[in-house]
A and B are shown apart, each in its own frame.
Chain A
Amino acid sequence: MKNRKRNGTRAESIIDSITGILDLPQDAVSGYAHIEISGNREAIIEGCQGVLEYNDNLIALNTGRLTVRICGCGLTIISMQNGQAIIRGTITGVDYCN
């Protein structure tokens, strides 16, 4: 188990270094989410795999390698389709957790 985890982190570090050398976008190769934020009103998260927490002030989304936590007030998921979530409301912060 420990070995598999070590192998996983090694593979990730190799992919990170390759994308760094080849100057490729991180979200295309490394499996990171692509997040676009327009002002503090709207966020578009691509690569969303599920909702972990949802209430008026916090939305936590599973994006694979990271958990994205969007804080704010009056948050609404406008649509969630094909791994893309559009969140609207007053966004006060974005946190990332492993």
Chain B
Amino acid sequence: MLVLKFLRFLSGYVSLIAEGGFPERFINLCRLRGILLWELRCKDGVITACMGRKDYLKIRPVAKKSGMRVRIKKKSGLPFFLDRHSRRIGVVIGICFCVASLSILSTRIWSIDVSGNICVPSEEILEVFEELGVRKGAAADKINISAVENSALIKLSDIAWLNVNISGSAAMIEVRERGAADEKDEDDTPSDIVAARDGQIVILRPFNGTQEQKIGNPVLKGDLLISGIEENKDLTVSFCRAKGYVAARTNRKIGVSRSREIKAEMPVGTKKSYIVDFLDFSIPLGKISDAAYREKRQLRINGVTLPFGFTECTETRYAEKTLRLTQEQAKMLAMLEFYEKCTEEFRGLKVEKHEISFAQDEKGCSVGGNFVCIENIGEERKMQIEETLFK
């Protein structure tokens, strides 16, 4: 029945009212002339019915014979709709544009998402894929996924595995990065391990090479700890790359001083401007400098990323000013700077003892600290070997 209704809508039909004569004769004459009537209702000699658009043109003699006066109640269907709107060029253009946009855009890539990367930035991955043809606006069916995956793996040396999924108009790139274990250190150039700092050795574990120091020995910066020269049983020597772990007790000093007068760049005004993005095209609305901070926003409906979006560009102007801090502010800034420096300096080492001192006067304040640490002081130093030794 639904199909019938749809077909009737496509061909167009009229609802009519006939009155004033012999309804039965009207129906019978319609039947005899092959005029199809449906939704036929007769009440008090008034007929309401529907008939095809073309059949209505044949109704005049039937109405005349049966003495009925026929008038149209409603015109329905696609031909009438098109007739009504044929003069509205804008609507026609809009419909054509909509159909064309849907048919073209549905085969294109609207968004590309990268997931699984930690160290390798998404921009780098996207750049490689763009070179290989996976970009916003590219035809999805023309992308040879396996070829792109292989080429991208060759170009991205830090990626161990990657997979490209194109679902509708969204491309998802999943990557697995190469871990530290994957990196093969195949450099066998002979080298020694020397002390990077002054200190007293507390742990000494040579993995390759000859041990030159003992636990408890004080060493100076540059002293040999593990040698890359190994003596063979036949009293000849061979060169190797020394490997090992040498931890020593070291002293470190950190000092920070902060003047109460500082020069700082203060924001004096911001200017916002926008860029309209459509697939890979950008239309800037106004003049935008390269230094502006850009925040890209893509339109989404029900979790689907649309090909439209905009970029908000915020340009902040700064002016250099001299500020005079209070003693509390100066102390706080000095402490903050001191802790930042400590965090940076003591990464990966253990602090055994520490002494922190604080001094303050009218000009500013200073924070200082003495630290006793246990840290790895082993540093690789390549050997200077002449080529003739290998011949």
Contacts and interface: CB of A to CB of B under 8 A. Distances in A.
A76 B37 CA distance: 11
A79 B49 CA distance: 10
Contacts of B137: none
B31 A80 contact: yes
A56 B23 CA distance: 12
A29 B286 CA distance: 87
Interface string A73-88: 0001111110000000
Nearest to B32: A50
B44 interface: yes
B45 to A, nearest CB: 8
A53 interface: yes
B43 A50 contact: no
Interface string A42-74: 000000001111111000000000000000000
A37 to B, nearest CB: 19
27 contacts: A50-B24, A50-B28, A51-B27, A52-B24, A53-B24, A54-B27, A54-B42, A55-B42, A55-B45, A56-B41, A56-B43, A56-B44, A76-B39, A76-B40, A76-B41, A77-B37, A77-B40, A78-B38, A78-B39, A79-B38, A79-B40, A80-B27, A80-B31, A80-B36, A80-B37, A80-B40, A81-B36
Interface of B: 23-24, 27-28, 31, 36-45
Nearest to A79: B38
A77 to B, nearest CB: 4
A53 B45 CA distance: 10
A52 B24 CA distance: 6
A56 B36 contact: no
What is the interface of chain A mostly: helix, strand, loop, or mixed? Answer: strand
Interface of A: 50-56, 76-81
A51 B28 CA distance: 6
A78 B40 CA distance: 6
Given A79-B36, A81-B36, A50 B31 contact: yes
Contacts of A54: 23-24, 27, 42
Contacts of A80: 27, 31, 36-37, 40
Contact of A55 (B28, B39, B44): B44
Nearest to A78: B38
A56 to B, nearest CB: 5
B39, B40, B44, B45, most chain A CB atoms within 10 A: B40
A52 B168 CA distance: 61
A78 B28 CA distance: 15
A83 B256 CA distance: 106
A51 B24 CA distance: 6
Nearest to A62: B28
B267 to A, nearest CB: 77
Contacts of A56: 41-44
B55 to A, nearest CB: 12
Contacts of A51: 24, 27-28, 31
Contacts of B42: 54-56
A80 B28 CA distance: 10
A33 to B, nearest CB: 15
A81 B32 CA distance: 10
B327 to A, nearest CB: 95
Contacts of A78: 38-40
A50 B33 CA distance: 12
Contacts of B31: 50-51, 80
Nearest to B45: A55
A74 B31 CA distance: 22
Contacts of B37: 77, 79-80
Contacts of B39: 76, 78
